Amino acid sequence: MATERTPLMPVTDMKVNIDYLVNTLGFKLDNVSADGTTAKLSCQAALLMLQTEVGDGPPAMRGDLPEIQVRVEELAEVYKNALSRGAIIRRYLEFAKTEAGTGIRLFTVSLPEGQRLTVIG
């Protein structure tokens, strides 16, 4: 049985992104590191890590923003939260075919800094 890795989303403003995930999508804040550079959030069985970009060099280029996927148990509930709480929907709930020929239900939202979060159920 394969173990799923926890996706890591790079962010610039930790507080803004945590607030958005908790208040708009219904995630729960599980932990923030002592130095405030990482946070662990969960939504049903899905886990997501946020990490601020740190270092002495220039800031990372923001042109190629990541898309992260998380799998939840009750997709309809998360989607309802997203719609009713003003999430920035990039891809509305749909049934998409996979490469294997099967299908999955999913939707995609934008985070405050432009990253994309695809929620699969």
21-53 confidence digits (pLDDT tens): 999 999 999 999 999 999 999 999 899 999 997
CB-based contact 50:42 (threshold 8 Å): no
CB-based contact 42:48 (threshold 8 Å): yes
Is 55's pLDDT higher than 90? no
Residues 6+ apart with CB under 8 A from 13: 52, 112, 113
pLDDT at 17: 95
Residues 6+ apart with CB under 8 A from 53: 10, 11, 12, 59, 60
* Extents of the domains making up the chain: 8-55+65-120
CATH level 3 topology of 8-55+65-120: 2,3-Dihydroxybiphenyl 1,2-Dioxygenase; domain 1 (3.10.180)
CA max distance for the chain: 46
pLDDT at 1: 41
Grouping H, G, I as helix, E, B as strand and the rest as coil, residue 116 is strand
Residues 6+ apart with CB under 8 A from 46: 70, 71, 72, 119
Is 120's pLDDT higher than 60? yes
Is 2's pLDDT higher than 50? no
70-110 confidence digits (pLDDT tens): 999 999 999 999 999 999 999 999 998 877 778 899 999 99
Q: Who wins on pLDDT, 59 or 74?
A: 74
pTM, full prediction: 0.82
